[in-house]
Amino acid sequence: MTFNKKEYNKKYRENHREELKNYLKKWEKNNPEKVKRYRKKHYLKNKEKINKKHKEYYQNNKIKRNKKIDEWQRKNPKKVKKYMKKYCQKNKGKRTKKSREYYQENKNNLGYKLKKNKYRRKKYQIDKNFNIMDKLRRRINYALTKYTETGKIMTSKQYGISYKAIIEYLEPFPEDYLISKSKYHIHHNKPLFTFDFINPDGSTNLEEVKKAWKPDNLKLVTQEEHKKIHRKLNHMELKNEILN
């Protein structure tokens, strides 16, 4: 019977897996420069293959990976802060250059965005109805994101909105909802501007709030669908004004 070295090595590795693993860890710890050189050499030799493998893994585990990163960041705020400070100092010149390049490429759109944000901030301060409307819209979006990420359902004691009822009504959520949140909008069958969220004494009209965010008044649609609905509503409004 001939001696099969390959088969022998394979069996040896299987029978001494933990022992070899510990030895390798110890060796890597004692020889960091050799490990660094080997990894660099291995990466350069197999660059395309490694990058392809990493890209495929990232695409297949995007939600899982993002969830792990979010959890780690929540548990380690000091480490995140320290890392970000170090990263900003190290890449100060690069970030400034990128910011300048981005501004030059997008200055026409940025001007519009800055004006829009300025208008929204001003309206947020002077228009109480818009203030409540915008605040609740953000809260419901955050509640849906929290649920799709962790399965936890938030409560809204302040405004008396049942996130649980809304989630149960809107389910099932699209598979790519967590990855492409900006792709989906919550449409109100009866538009928000038709509700009066402020009482004459300046307090919040909770009854109107509950009606506006009642589950059967909500619908999860894509951004494109939402635009079409709004265009149709604006056209109907204009038609009614002309007729009246």
Query: pLDDT tens digits for 28-53?
Result: 889 989 888 988 888 888 989 888 88
User: What are the structural domain ranges in the chain?
Assistant: 69-126, 127-243
Rounded CA-CA distance 29/7 in Å is: 29
pLDDT digits (tens, 9 = 90+) for 93-144: 776 777 677 666 666 665 555 555 666 666 767 788 888 888 888 888 888 8
Rounded CA-CA distance 239/89 in Å is: 57
Rounded CA-CA distance 104/3 in Å is: 69
pLDDT at 114: 57
Q: Is the pLDDT of residue 84 over 70?
A: yes
Strands 184-188 and 218-222, by their bridges, are antiparallel
**Band of residue 67 on the pLDDT scale cut at 50, 70, 90:** confident
Rounded CA-CA distance 215/238 in Å is: 28
Q: Is the pLDDT of residue 1 over 60?
A: no
What are the angstrom distances between the C-alpha of 106 and each of 101, 112, 114, 118, 176? 9, 10, 12, 18, 28
Which position has the token pair 């949140």? 181
**Band of residue 224 on the pLDDT scale cut at 50, 70, 90:** confident
Question: What is the residue-averaged pLDDT of the chain?
Answer: 80
Backbone angles phi, psi at 161, to 5 degrees: -90, 135
pLDDT digits (tens, 9 = 90+) for 135-191: 888 888 888 888 888 888 888 777 888 889 999 998 888 877 777 767 888 888 888
Rounded CA-CA distance 75/63 in Å is: 18
